[in-house]
Amino acid sequence: MKTLVKRLLPYRYRLSWISMLWFVSIILFPTAALCTPEDKEFYRMEDVIVSTSRAEVAIADAPQSITIISDKEIMDSPFERVEDILRFSAGVHNVSHYGTQTGGIQSHLSMRGTGRSRLLMMLDGVPLNDNFNNSIAWVAWGIIPRESIARIEILRGPSSASYGSEGLGGIINIITKTPAVKRKTSIRGIAGSASTYGISGLHSQMGDRFGLLVSGAYEESDGFYMIDPDELEEYELRRHREVGQGFGKITYRPDERTDISFSGLYYQHEMGKGREFFYDDLILDQYRLGLSRRGDLADWKGMLYLNRAEKTAYQDRRAAGVFVPDREEKFPENIVWGGEVQNTLPIAGNALITTGLAYKRVSMDYEEEPVTGDRVVESSGRQQFISPFLDLTTRFMNDRLIFNAGVRYDNVRNFDGEARDTDPRDRPPFDDTYGSKTWNNFSPKAGIVYHTDDLTTLRTSVVYGYRTPSLFELYKVHERGGGRLLRWANPDLDPEKIVSWEVGAERIFFDNLWTRVTYYQSRVSDYIGTRTLDTYFVGNAQYREEEYDNINTVDIHGVETELSYYFGYGLTSFFNYTYNISEITKDRENPDREGNYLPGDPRHKFRAGIGYSNPHFINASVLLKHDRHRYTDDLNTNKAPNFSTVDLSVWREVFDLVTLRLTIENVTDEKEYIEDGRLYYGSIQFYF
């Protein structure tokens, strides 16, 4: 431990003595018996999950590494949005604070070293990755008020055998609450740094057969600087935001075996990106109809869904040393719709087999409106997925040995691809129509779980995954910086593929210490990157022309270590450390990059927290995040500084009617985290 402290102290992030003492205590205290026997609490996970296989399975029986974030943990978190809550989970990396994530081209989340945006996000099983909005299926992670969330399921590793495309690194599945048997109504207000104000509310009530849940939220903020404006004059404004959210769910139970639900979601934002004429508007509305039936011989489920998006990105350009309006990039109405049905049947007394069929259709329509001139830029395309799947779970040795296997076949067809530009830079005008293209993806998986005793579990799995190129990558030309960056689409792209295996063990010690260690290894082929076509200078300004292509093979391996400890007297803690290497082993564009690391994901990720709960006095949490050894470019010439953040939150419930909370983000005032440094928020919540 002395050696560890000596190694940590010299680095420039300089943890305060308080955070260092707290960090050391997380490591040392689990070895001490600080609580009396009557205070000990047996560590128990959530009883049921649904993301690892199509049938419900106890979390301890899952062959892949799973984390469940409960509704209490979500509401106790100092953060409002899913992406910030997730950043303390093992293997998950959030590259920057939400305040700087104002509508960028890629999601800022990654998992298990597969690169940014290669996660599948679902809401009650409905895929939310839009497949058209940008290069790698961006997601509005703040899409739903957190009061509506029952739990968040995190599945690490590829998920194509169960859910098809997108999830190379894993799945984030948000499960919404069902109407409460006892009426719940609350309203909450928040205010804080950068003139941030917000209000949210929830009403939930169940009748004899019908139930209703309604929630909504609104937030506005002057926002944050992406970087010191004195150092980078191009971003002279704060990244402001204005966000509105609404969610509703109606449930109906005609009998004890049947459940019907209909839910709708509305989301709207305006996000500033640091300049007056550089911002975007986004509107999403999403609907889901679900039905489940528990029969005498089998259980079956079905759902239909519709996701719609309308987005306008306002772009600027530099003229005579200042930025002026240039054009509006419009996705006028892009739709994803689909459905699925599945049946789960017990066989041979100790096995469950689930079969089903999923369908999804994606459309993209894009157009540009220039401020001056009559240039016409348009692109469009359609994508269709037809996907039968099968999943088998069987048990032996009195349920101590569990075997899971599954397979999914995805027939993916691209069609109606078009692209048109009447005045492209440095190229002749074009008006192209592309023929249809079909991919057939066969995604198997297999896993074994062995409970050596009631406190110890061993697991291993081998899985295959893929990601279909988005319609954006296939057909849309992407231009930024007033023409300084021009990235061409490529209709000849193939899907990315990944083969991954993991082995892990978890154990409960002393009835109050839970530990888990997982080793994983993956190979990604046909990794989609950008091929440089031309680079030149006009004055001091650099111009670059690129094209999407399947250029890389990436080898990934890493270790995730986790522990949770209950001290007693309301005091709990957690610690996790992730070591990850993502190495480019083949690069057809630039062989000099072979042996380099993928940018964006740190080699070392430390996460830790300590919480105190005393309803008669006060509740508090302290969270630590530390990232080390992260490159920001493929050439590995730019290395991001190592840095740590500490977040503090205290709250108190008064007579079960009011909750008062104070949150301080970035207590150590780390500028690498966010240029504005330390942030303060206060909230008050009323219960009726």
pLDDT in tens, 97-126: 555 544 444 566 789 988 877 888 899 999
pLDDT digit string, tens, across residues 373-384:
888 999 999 999
Verdict on whether the full-model pTM lies above 0.85: yes
133 CB-contact burial (10 Å; exposed 0-12 / middle 13-18 / buried 19+): buried
Cβ 489 vs Cβ 475: under 8 Å? yes
Strand 149-156 relative to strand 170-176: parallel, antiparallel, unpaired? antiparallel
Tell me: pLDDT of 20 over 60. no
The upper half-sphere exposure of residue 159, i.e. CA atoms within 13 Å in the direction of its Cβ, equals: 29
pLDDT value of residue 292? 94
Question: Which CATH number characterizes residue 445's domain?
Answer: 2.40.170.20
Q: 389: pLDDT confidence band, cut at 50, 70 and 90? A: very high
CA 316 to chain centre: 29
Q: 136: pLDDT confidence band, cut at 50, 70 and 90? A: very low
Average pLDDT over residues 563-585: 93
pLDDT digit string, tens, across residues 153-173:
999 999 899 999 888 999 989
pLDDT value of residue 534? 81
Tell me: pLDDT of 39 over 50. no
Average pLDDT over residues 660-674: 83
**Structural domain of 502:** 2-687
Which distant-in-sequence residues (6+ apart) come within 8 Å of 430 by Cβ? Answer: 419, 420, 421, 424
Average pLDDT over residues 393-416: 94
pLDDT digit string, tens, across residues 186-235:
999 999 998 999 999 999 999 989 999 999 999 999 887 766 555 556 67
Which distant-in-sequence residues (6+ apart) come within 8 Å of 73 by Cβ? Answer: none
Strands (E) located in 320-372: 322-347, 351-370
Tell me: pLDDT of 342 over 90. yes
Tell me: pLDDT of 29 over 60. no
pLDDT value of residue 561? 96
Which distant-in-sequence residues (6+ apart) come within 8 Å of 388 by Cβ? Answer: 355, 356, 357, 358, 408, 409
pLDDT value of residue 36? 33
Of all residues in the chain, what percent carry a pLDDT higher than 90? 49
d(CA 238, CA 227): 9
Of all residues in the chain, what percent carry a pLDDT higher than 70? 86
* Domains identified in the chain, total number: 1
Q: 130: pLDDT confidence band, cut at 50, 70 and 90? A: low
Q: 248: pLDDT confidence band, cut at 50, 70 and 90? A: very high
Average pLDDT over residues 473-496: 84
Burial code of 30-49, b = ≥16 C-beta within 10 A, e = fewer?
Answer: beeeebeeeebeebebeeeb
The upper half-sphere exposure of residue 151, i.e. CA atoms within 13 Å in the direction of its Cβ, equals: 15
How many residues are there in the chain? 688
DSSP 584-628: EEEESS-GGGTTPBPTTS-SEEEEEEEEEE-TTS-EEEEEEEEEE
Helix (H) or strand (E) holding 184: strand 184-192
pLDDT value of residue 230? 57
Amino acid identity, residue 26?
A: I
pLDDT value of residue 200? 94
pLDDT value of residue 26? 36
pLDDT digit string, tens, across residues 497-550:
999 999 999 999 988 999 999 999 999 999 988 877 888 887 777 778 888 889
Average pLDDT over residues 137-162: 83
Q: Provide the terminal-to-terminal Cα distance of the chain, rounded to the nearest Å.
A: 50
pLDDT value of residue 34? 32
pLDDT digit string, tens, across residues 500-515:
999 999 999 988 999 9
Tell me: pLDDT of 636 over 90. no
